[in-house]
Amino acid sequence: MFTAQCLLMKHKLLVLLLLCTLTLFAKPAKVIRVIDGDTFVIETGEHVRVVGINAPEMSTVYGEPAKEHLFALIDGKTVDLEPDHISKNKDVYGRLLRYVYLDGVDIDKKMVTDGYAIAFLKYPFDKEDEYSREETKAKAASLGIWKDGEGSANSTSEKTAPASGGAGNPGSITQIIKALCAILVVAIFIGTTRRRRRK
């Protein structure tokens, strides 16, 4: 009786851990419209605000090039949306705050790397240091909005970039949590399977 209850409890735990693991992974969504360089609409009708970056406003000279760059990267494509572990789920306008991945490429970071957005440091997020470094490189290489050496009126970070070094890449925390959950699920499954074989 006790063994049957333990086995049932382990199965419930396994299902719970599996569901937990699945929620940590990115959710796929098809992009149906790009609004500007950091906002788009997915097939559910929800608006998505890209986490950790700020692209020039459409009213500025660099607004349209930033929008066109994001459009070329993701429009009509199925992307993976992943929440940030520091930011809220939605912004004050009700937009989902998400990292965007296409074929494993971090689109948020690519917008900064290519010079069409800045690291948006007004609010904390997992990948602050990484995106700040990419912004510095884009400025130095005069890419995108930085090609004339100035950028747009709203294309400077709102806080100074963090000093290099620090605690490493906070973005890797997500990958570590995912890996640990997967290992835990596998370990429980193997333990349960071994016990069945002994009987």
In sequence order, what are the residues at sequence separation of 6 or more whose Cβ sits closer than 8 angstroms to the Cβ of residue 170? Answer: 86, 126, 127, 128, 129
In sequence order, what are the residues at sequence separation of 6 or more whose Cβ sits closer than 8 angstroms to the Cβ of residue 28? Answer: 78, 79, 80, 81
Residue of 49, 128, 134, 135 marked active site: 49
Residue of 82, 95, 133, 135 marked active site: 95
Whether 95 is catalytic is yes
Whether 133 is catalytic is no
Residue of 33, 43, 46, 57 marked active site: 57
d(CA 132, CA 52): 10
> Would you state the structure tokens that stand for residue 105, as one six-digit string?
């490429």
- Measured CA to CA in angstroms, residue 187 lies from 23, 83, 102 at distances of 19, 27, 31
Give the active site residues: 49, 57, 95
